[in-house]
Each structure stands twice: as structure tokens, then as C-alpha cells.
Amino acid sequence: MVKQVLVGIGLAAALGVIAATWPHSASTPFGPQTAPPVSALPSAESSPTTASTTTAGPTAPTTATSTTSAPATTTTTAVFEPGVLLIGDSVLEGLNILDYRFGPDTSYDTEVSRSALHLEDVLAEHDLPDNVVIHLGTNGWWDSTTDAFSQTLQTLEDRQVLLVNLRVDRPYAERANLDIAVLAQTYEHVTLVDWASEATPDLLRSDGFHPNFDGYDRLARLIADGLGLPARTVLTPEPAAPSSIPGAVGID
């Protein structure tokens, strides 16, 4: 009988030593190095994470003690279909005449001397694709133009929009380019195509604002980059001799 009592006392002492040396406390979440097998994890009622969040002050961030249960934060990027509509005046009309294409579903609505005030009416005539390129302002920019553009861009928030700024020696050009830059910064779905900075005199015709053949190639590449097309993309077939191209390129 005495022997059984001594054995029992020894076993209890051994269990007490094991419990005292177990490598976790009730207030510290299990780390990857010290966590016991899944079957030995504490229940939700005694979870260390729960204990630490309930004792934190009302302004303490919960993410610091509940990372094991918080959903992962992911960044999504909109995926647009390849269709592209280019809207503009005679500057963009030259791209159409020269047969620049930004994918198999490229369409143009360009018109000589078109005003920026016509943007909303032009958009209403189309079943819009996912990508819209706009170059208007060469033929005038007014106080009301920016507000009109802003309202229109809000209606296109589910599409990718490229705004091409101006390279023209006219009094309103600086104001127009400033407004266009602000619009591009204001809306996440809008990208600025900075033609004004790229259009050096050697890329322009004698009138100073319509691109020459090299200029159209540069402008097309800028638009392609804005659309996210790879640099190796072939935008147009082999150029034909200028005399064989129908229509006049770059007549306002």
C-alpha cells in the first residue's frame, strides 16, 4: 500500500514539471515554432487571440492580434477586352488614314475641325468598347470644357480611357493641357498620353501641329503603351508609298 502511494506521488510530481515547462502562455498566440499539433490547439473559448483582443484598449488595431483569422488583402487589376475606339479631330484622323490598329477590333470616329464640345454626342453614337482614346481640343478649349469632360469621364468609369493632350501653338493650348492632366490624375480609369512633350518639331508637319509619318508612328506607340500593349506589337502593315495613300493626312 505504501509503495502505491509513493508511485502516485512521483507521477504527480512528474506531471507538474511537464506542465510548468510547456513552451506557451495563455496570453501569447502560438508561433510556427512552438505550436502543438492541430488536435492540441485550444478551443475558441480559450483562444489566445481572443484573450488578447478582448483586453486591448478600444482604439487598439485588431489586425495585430488576429492575423491568423484576418482575410488576406489582395490588389486587383481591371482586365479590359481588346476593343478600342479612338475619338478625335484631324490629328487622330491621320492614324486612321495610315491604318494604325491597336488590336483586331479597332475603330475610329474622327472628323476634321471637330470641337471638344462634341464629345458627349459622339460617345452616344457608339456601343462603346472597353477602351476609349480621346484627343479633342485642337480646335478650341473653353471654360466649360473641363466640366463637360469630367462629367463624361464619370460615365465611363467601367472603361479604360486615354486622354491625349495637345501639341498646337494656340493661346488655349496650355490651359487645355493643364486641365487634361488634372482630369487624368483625378480619375483612376483615365491615363494621360503626353503627346505635347513628345511632339518635337522634327515629328510635325510644316503647320506645326499635325504629325508627319514619323510623328504618327511615335503617337501610335504612345497610345499603344497607354493601352498596355507590348512593345513588340505591330501596329500597322508595312508603310505604303505616300502617293498611294488615299486622302490628305493632316489637313485641319
State how beta strands 106-110 and 84-88 pair.
parallel
Task: Compute the distance between CA of residue 162 and CA of residue 9 in angstroms, rounded to an integer.
Answer: 82
Cα atoms found within 13 Å of the Cα of residue 108, Cβ hemisphere only: 19
pLDDT interval class at 170 (50, 70, 90): very high
More confident residue, 248 or 126: 126
Domains located in the chain, CATH noted: 84-240 (3.40.50.1110)
Task: Measure CA of the first residue to CA of the last residue in the chain; give whole Å.
Answer: 115
Q: d(Cα 194, Cα 189) in Å, to the nearest integer? A: 16
pLDDT digits (tens, 9 = 90+) for 190-241: 999 999 999 999 999 999 999 999 999 999 999 999 999 998 888 876 555 5
Supply the pLDDT for residue 65.
37
Per residue in 223-233, pLDDT (tens digit) is 999 999 998 88
* Rounded-to-10 torsion of CA 82, 87, 90, 95: 0
Beta-bridge mates of residue 192: 163
The per-residue pLDDT of the chain, averaged, comes to 75
Instruction: Determine contact, residues 208/169, Cβ cutoff 8 Å.
Output: yes
Q: What is the distance between the alpha carbons of residues 251 and 115, in angstroms, rounded to a whole number?
A: 15
Q: What is the DSSP letter of 40?
A: G
pLDDT given at position 7: 45
Q: Identify the top-confidence range among 36-40, 75-79, 183-187.
A: 183-187
Return the pLDDT at 234.
Answer: 81
- For the chain, percent helix, then strand, then coil, each to nearest 5? 40, 10, 50
pLDDT grade for 185, boundaries at 50, 70 and 90: very high
Band (82; pLDDT cuts 50, 70, 90): confident
Q: CA–CA separation, 182 vs 76, rounded Å? A: 24
d(CA 172, CA 145): 12
Enter the C-alpha cell of residue 195.
503627346
Name the band, by pLDDT with cuts 50, 70 and 90, for residue 76.
Answer: very low
Q: Indicate whether 24 pLDDT > 90.
A: no
The percent of residues above 90 in pLDDT, for the chain, comes to 57
Band of pLDDT at residue 61, cut at 50, 70 and 90: very low
pLDDT at 231: 87
pLDDT number for residue 66: 38
Cβ contact 184:220 at 8 Å: no
Question: DSSP readout, 120-134?
Answer: HHHHHTS---SEEEE
Q: Is the pLDDT of residue 96 over 90?
A: yes
Query: Is pLDDT at 94 greater than 70 in this prediction?
Result: yes
